[in-house]
Amino acid sequence: MNFIAYQRRRFIKSAAFGLFGIAAFDTVSGQSFLSSTSLDKDEEKLFYRYPSMDDEIVSSIVGASHGNFDKVKEMVTRRPELAKAAWDWGFGDWETALGAASHVGRRDIAEFLMEHGARPDIFTFTMLGMLKSVQEMVETIPGIQSMPGPHGITLLQHAKNRLNNKSITAPDADNVNKVLNYLESLGNADIKPKSLAISEEEKKTYMGEYRFGNNENELFIVDLHRLGFLQMARKGAAARALNRIDENIFSPAGAPSVSIIFRMGNGKPVSLSIHEPDPVVSAARV
């Protein structure tokens, strides 16, 4: 269901209950009103944390901000509050809509979100080529240049990703290059998460399904991303890249305090357990 249809259906249900409240104090009885405006049993219920934003809407706007400008404009024009949305992709890997646009180098999406209330940070300033702003933040907050962004993406990489955008103008590229050169001069603005080497054969060893419950989605899937790195996802959810931090131990991108430990048997994984850092769940290989 698209965003507009979802909002329309939710309004119809809310309006019906609002009118019921009026009818209860008027000449029309509440019972007769409900009888004449019965809702389909299949109609979606209000989000269980309403009036908080529905998770599906929040994840949708943050996901779209990685490159789907048309969808971003449609959603934010109707609900400007979505410009400030943030989503946890897994294990505490939080990302805002603006953060998404910033790390993929989409200046157009970032500017649109800021026009509707999104709050920029040093990652946005870097992507936009705002040298003075970046310098002032580095001088004011020691070490901020080493802090990772969403998914563990470094500050320096935000500048590089902007430069890789084919639509970048010459003046824009000049400004971003100035920020890039400044960050390179600092020597610590591109500290990537620890990840030990892993061969293609080793990757295949870990790939598979790991079940932790009887429901259909109580399943972790370990497979390869199209770019070749190992990733893990709960069935139906977004996958997280895995960084190898020790033998049979991995950490999901954007969450270095989390460990995913594979227990081996005869040279192959028989289960995995997730520690955050205390043990949270174990799953047996299917």
pLDDT at 71 over 80: yes
CB 277 within 8 A of CB 271: no
- CA 165, 170, 175, 178 torsion-angle sign: positive
Over range 106-118, report the average pLDDT.
98
Over range 264-278, report the average pLDDT.
96
Q: Can you give the three-state secondary structure of 68-109, one letter per residue?
A: CHHHHHHHHHHCHHHHHCEEECCCCCEEEHHHHHHHCCCHHH
Pick the closest to residue 231 from 261, 213, 255, 206 (CA basis).
Answer: 206
Over range 22-47, report the average pLDDT.
47
CB 282 within 8 A of CB 271: yes
Residue 168 confidence (pLDDT):
97
pLDDT at 215 over 80: yes
* pTM more than 0.75: yes
Distance (Å) of CA 201 to CA 35, 198, 228: 64, 8, 12
Give the pLDDT band of residue 7 (cuts 50, 70, 90).
low
Q: Where are the domains of the chain?
A: 3-36, 200-285
Provide Rg for the chain, Cα atoms.
24
Residue type, 17: F
Residue 263 confidence (pLDDT):
98
Give the pLDDT band of residue 169 (cuts 50, 70, 90).
very high
Strand-pairing partners, residue 281, are: 274
Look up residue 161 and give its two tokens.
Answer: 């990703």
- CA 95, 100, 102, 105 torsion-angle sign: positive
Average pLDDT, the chain: 88
Q: Can you give the three-state secondary structure of the chain, one letter per residue?
A: CCHHHHHHHHHHHHHHHHHHHHHCCCCCCHHHHHHHCCCCCCCCCCCCCCCCCCHHHHHHHHHHCCCCHHHHHHHHHHCHHHHHCEEECCCCCEEEHHHHHHHCCCHHHHHHHHHCCCCCCHHHHHHHCCHHHHHHHHHHCCCHHHCCCHHHCCHHHHHHHHHCCCCCCHHHHHHHHHHHHHHHHHCCCCCCCCCCCCCHHHHHHHCEEEECCCCCCCEEEEEECCCCCEEEEECCCCCEEEEEEECCEEEECCCCCCEEEEEEECCEEEEEEEECCCEEEEEEEC
